[in-house]
């Protein structure tokens, strides 16, 4: 490795995401922004163990700017540490722990950079970087309100004996909107399981960060941001400085596949705001029964749609987390018989994957039925598209409630009491409402206001998110 002499070198920052597209995409966009907008040299470390096909394709097919170097960490053998029954977060944390055994030697070889930026599940790096005197920052890939809850969780863990889901009242996060127990993320619904212990371990280490980058902006989450900055609880933790630098989202690819081109060409033929995109994220899957109801609801609504079809799974709502982009499926095998024929011309069914950003920014797209992962939320809002909230796992129920009740850009369908299924008539109702109804028009207006606000936040030299990141980079350049 060629080491440039310090007096002629740019500041050097290392970025380390954990596996999963929800972590990988925003940290890659963050790395690009450092290079392109702030003249930083970035080494982007990829954890290669069980890397999905989509992750590899994104990293190695994208046109990365000069000054952004990709470094693959050596694959780790985890076969003796996990099984088919190991839940997603536990598996992810074990992959990261084993993969980071080489981190110290990699950082030394890179010449001890000015800073390391990690996400929430790579906190083993704190101890390593403390040894090397490298400041370590956390890039928080979820909402500010979820950060507030995460910072509060260690206190909640000490003060509450029962399961959190059994509490009689909503959880009062200091300075923030209370969280209903039914909205709690999966990982804290059972405190006895490994997923909870891993999650608590990582969020307990947040105060070790030199700072926390937030992929959000003040206009989207003013209450939670003010609480973290000003409330005495967070000051006493103490909470590291927080830096809202968002929204950083995946940019539409300059080159598109043949399938992508067909999808966009179909959109070109539709009228403005007339198409509903249905996509449940990189890892999301529905049960067979729910997918059937969704298909019938779309057909009954008579609205135009693009359905990203993925083979159903009755076992897990995050069934494709580690193999996203690697499955080839035939929608005729699991969609209702005759559905494709009956909806031909009105709907477009695309197996597995669409260029989501390109679809959301297309003028024909009028709404988005989303799993409410934070990246998809940001992509939708920054393109002025309202949502039908369909949370599946992780913190998505909390996100969905925030979008509906606090932000006003989404509607959430109601499942049948006592069942975990949303029936076709309810799907028809909410689809019609968001596409044709007055409530849908109001949500669209609000989404477009936030779209304009997002553009202003990121504006070079004057935007609040731009300035927030610039202040940290100024410190890095002084140390270079």
3-state secondary structure the chain: CCCCCHHHCCCEEEEECCCCHHHHHHHHHHHHHHHHHHCCEEEEEEECCCCCHHHHHHHHHCCCCCCEEEEEECCCCCCCCCCCCCCHHHHHHHHHHHHHHHHHHHHHHCCCCCEEEECCCCCCHHHHHHHHCCCEEEEECCCHHHHHHHHHHHHHHHHCCCCHHHCCCCECCCCCCCECHHHCCHHHCCCCCHHHHHHHHHHHCHHHCCCEEECCCCCCCHHHHHHHHHCHHHHHCCCCCEEECCCCCCCCCCCCCHHHHHHHHHHHCCCCCCEEEEECCCCCCCCHHHHHHHHHHHHHHCCEEEEEECCCCCCCCCCCCCCCCCCCCCHHHCCCCCHHHHCECCEEEEECCCCHHHHHCCCCEEEEEECCCHHHHHHHHCCCCCEEECCCCCCHHHHHHHHHHHHCCEECCCCCCCCCCCCHHHHHHHHHHHHHCHHHHHHHHHHHHHHHHHHHHHCCCCCHHHHHHHHHHHHHHHHC
Active site residue 23: yes
CA 240 vs. chain centroid, Å, equals 22
CB within 8 Å of 266: residues ≥ 6 apart: 306, 348
Report whether 411 contacts 388 (CB < 8 A): yes
Q: Give the residue among 386, 323, 376 at the shortest CA–CA distance from 352.
A: 323
**Which residue out of 12, 38, 119, 183 is catalytically annotated?**
119
- The sign one gets for the Cα dihedral 276, 279, 280, 284 is positive
Closest CA to 313 of 305, 304, 300, 322: 322
Looking at 23, 362, 371, 383, which residue is catalytic? 23
Closest Cα to residue 322, out of 82, 27, 31? 82
Active site residue 119: yes
Catalytic residue numbers read 23, 119
């Amino acid at each position: 490795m060629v080491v440039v002499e310090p007096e002629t070198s740019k500041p050097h920052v290392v970025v380390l995401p954990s596996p999963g597209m929800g972590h990988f995409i925003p940290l890659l966009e963050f790395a690009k922004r450092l290079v392109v907008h702030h003249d930083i040299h970035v080494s982007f470390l990829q954890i290669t163990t069980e890397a999905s096909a989509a992750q590899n394709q994104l990293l190695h097919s994208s046109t990365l700017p000069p000054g952004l170097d990709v470094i693959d960490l050596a694959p780790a053998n985890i076969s003796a540490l996990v099984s088919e029954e190991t839940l997603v977060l536990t598996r992810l944390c074990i992959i990261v722990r084993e993969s980071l055994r080489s981190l110290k030697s990699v950082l030394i070889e890179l010449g001890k950079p000015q800073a390391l930026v990690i996400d929430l599940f790579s906190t083993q790096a704190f101890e390593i970087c403390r040894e090397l005197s490298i400041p370590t920052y956390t890039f928080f890939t979820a909402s500010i309100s979820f950060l507030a809850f995460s910072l509060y969780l260690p206190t909640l863990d000490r003060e509450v004996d029962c399961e959190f889901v059994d509490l009689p009242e909503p959880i009062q996060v200091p300075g923030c909107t209370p969280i209903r127990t039914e909205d709690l993320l999966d990982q804290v619904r059972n405190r006895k399981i490994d997923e909870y212990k891993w999650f608590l371990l990582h969020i307990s280490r947040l105060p070790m960060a030199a700072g926390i980058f937030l992929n959000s902006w003040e206009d989207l989450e003013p209450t939670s941001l003010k609480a973290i900055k000003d409330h005495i609880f967070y000051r006493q933790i103490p909470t590291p400085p927080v830096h809202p630098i968002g929204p950083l989202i995946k940019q539409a690819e300059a080159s598109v596949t043949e399938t992508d081109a067909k999808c966009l060409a179909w959109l070109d033929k539709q009228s403005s705001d007339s198409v509903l995109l249905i996509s449940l994220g990189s890892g999301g899957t529905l049960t067979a029964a729910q997918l059937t109801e969704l298909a019938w609801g779309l057909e009954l609504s008579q609205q135009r749609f693009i359905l990203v079809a993925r083979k159903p799974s009755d076992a897990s709502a995050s069934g494709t987390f580690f193999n996203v982009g690697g499955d080839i499926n035939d929608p005729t095998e699991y969609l209702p018989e005759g559905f494709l024929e009956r909806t031909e011309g009105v709907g477009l069914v695309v197996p597995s994957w669409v260029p989501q950003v390109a679809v959301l920014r297309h003028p024909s797209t009028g709404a988005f039925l989303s799993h409410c992962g934070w990246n998809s939320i940001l992509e939708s809002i920054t393109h002025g598209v309202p949502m039908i909230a369909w949370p599946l796992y992780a913190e998505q129920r909390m996100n969905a409630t925030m979008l509906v009740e606090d932000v006003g850009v989404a509607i959430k369908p109601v499942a049948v009491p006592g069942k975990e299924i949303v029936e076709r008539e309810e799907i028809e109702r909410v689809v019609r409402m968001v596409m044709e109804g007055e409530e849908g028009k109001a949500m669209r207006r609000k989404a477009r206001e936030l779209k304009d606000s997002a553009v202003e936040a990121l504006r070079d030299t004057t935007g609040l998110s731009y300035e927030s990141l610039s202040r940290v980079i100024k410190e890095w350049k002084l140390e270079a």
